[in-house]
Amino acid sequence: MNSFQTYRWHFLVLILALVCSFLLNISLGSVGIPLSETLNSVFGDSIQNSSWDYIIWNYRIPKALTAILAGSALALSGLLMQTLFRNPLAGPFVLGISSGASLGAALLIMGSGLFTGLFSFTLLNDVALAVAASLGSFLVLLAVVVVASRVKDTMALLIIGLMFGSVTGAVVSVLSYFTKVEKLQQFVYWSFGSVGNLSWPQLTLLFGIFLVGTILSILSIKSLNTLLLGENYAQSLGIHLKKSRYLIIIATGLLAGSVTALAGPIAFIGLAVPHLTRQIFHTTDHRILLPAVLVYGAILLLLCDTIAQLPQSENVLPINAITSIFGAPVVIWLLLRKKRMIF
């Protein structure tokens, strides 16, 4: 395994790319703001138009920070799942966490059709939607943790997680079939995913959960490295498998569940970024991979959001579609160029 010093230039380039992606993201949008004025606003200097300052600090910077946190959290949870299940197709949502969040949102949106007037309006604000999605993902995560305490085989846990996802997906389909068109449209809009709807308090909440999930992941680095060699070998090295599995599942649930609850389901990042990082860094050492996927995930989602917001246009494309349309060809090209997948 290589030391962190070996990759210091890689990380330096990544940090510079992250800063450039952040500035690019906040300088482009439906309202044209010169880059020099954007920099003045960010660094606290005087700016020609006070409305530009308001747009940058109350819309663009929270959106860019949400993209950084969401991209990093999804990429890290994807890395955790691929290593835990030793499966390159595993992602942050294989445990049914995303489906649980979708079920919570679907029950709130479509169930609110039973109510009218002020009560219905109260049920359907953004905070209530985030709470419902969080509860859905948390309940599925709780069920998975209970199952994990009874199942010794990790592959069986993977299949059970997929079954949880199938069941919750089926319930959402039944609700969709019986609901009104406008409620169905509202749910579909939520399922597109968006990083532009978070307020500063919601962003602070997301950062707090992200911090806890990342710390749990850092504590699991030794377990993750030994799990690559197989569970029996990891056990022979003194790794407590059940405790390690709990830590990894809870970290994934916090990271992926919080992002899905607050920003909607965002596909592709969790599956693709760990593969991209392994191919570029040529290592499977989680001491290197963990910080690398955090930065790569942030850069990728920032760039996808920059494209999705269609600069100089009032229209915004679904972030879910952009991550797949522009990200998938990059992964295919990289795998074809390297000819062999590192896993």
Helix axes 126-150, 241-263, angle to 10 degrees: 160
User: Can you tell me which residue has the tokens 């059709």?
Assistant: 113
Is the Cβ–Cβ distance between 64 and 26 less than 8 Å?
yes
Provide the H-helix boundaries in the chain.
8-27, 35-42, 50-55, 61-84, 97-111, 117-123, 126-150, 154-178, 181-191, 200-219, 221-227, 231-236, 241-263, 269-281, 286-308, 319-338
Is the Cβ–Cβ distance between 268 and 327 less than 8 Å?
yes
What's the whole-number average pLDDT of the chain?
82
CB atoms within 10 A of CB 126: 13
Task: Measure the CA–CA gap between 40 and 52, rounded to whole angstroms.
Answer: 11
* 21 class by beta-carbon count within 10 Å (0-12 exposed, 13-18 middle, 19+ buried): buried
Q: What letter would DSSP give residue 59?
A: I
**Tens digits of residue pLDDT in 271-316:** 889 988 988 888 888 999 999 999 999 999 999 999 888 766 777 8
Task: Measure the CA–CA gap between 111 and 179, rounded to whole angstroms.
Answer: 8
Lowest mean pLDDT among 10-14, 79-83, 101-105, 139-143: 139-143
Is the Cβ–Cβ distance between 144 and 249 less than 8 Å?
yes
How far CA 73 is from CA of 68, 125, 130, 152, in Å, comes to 8, 25, 17, 27
Task: Measure the CA–CA gap between 205 and 183, rounded to whole angstroms.
Answer: 28
Q: Which residues make Cβ contacts (< 8 Å) with residue 151, sequence separation at least 6? A: 157, 160
* 79 class by beta-carbon count within 10 Å (0-12 exposed, 13-18 middle, 19+ buried): buried
In the chain, % of residues over pLDDT 70? 87
**Tens digits of residue pLDDT in 107-120:** 888 776 655 554 45
Of residues 169, 168, 133, the one with CA closest to residue 262: 133
User: Can you tell me which residue has the tokens 């295919």?
Assistant: 332
Q: Which two tokens stand for residue 217?
A: 């992941």
Of residues 31, 33, 9, 12, the one with CA closest to residue 23: 33
Report which listed range, 197-201, 249-253, 297-301, is most confident: 297-301
pLDDT band of residue 171 (cuts 50, 70, 90) is confident
How far CA 248 is from CA of 204, 265, 341, in Å, comes to 23, 20, 24
Amino acid letter at 98?
S
pTM above 0.75, yes or no: yes
Is the Cβ–Cβ distance between 72 and 297 less than 8 Å?
yes
CB atoms within 10 A of CB 40: 17
Lowest mean pLDDT among 1-15, 126-140, 167-181, 244-258: 126-140
Is the Cβ–Cβ distance between 252 and 97 less than 8 Å?
yes
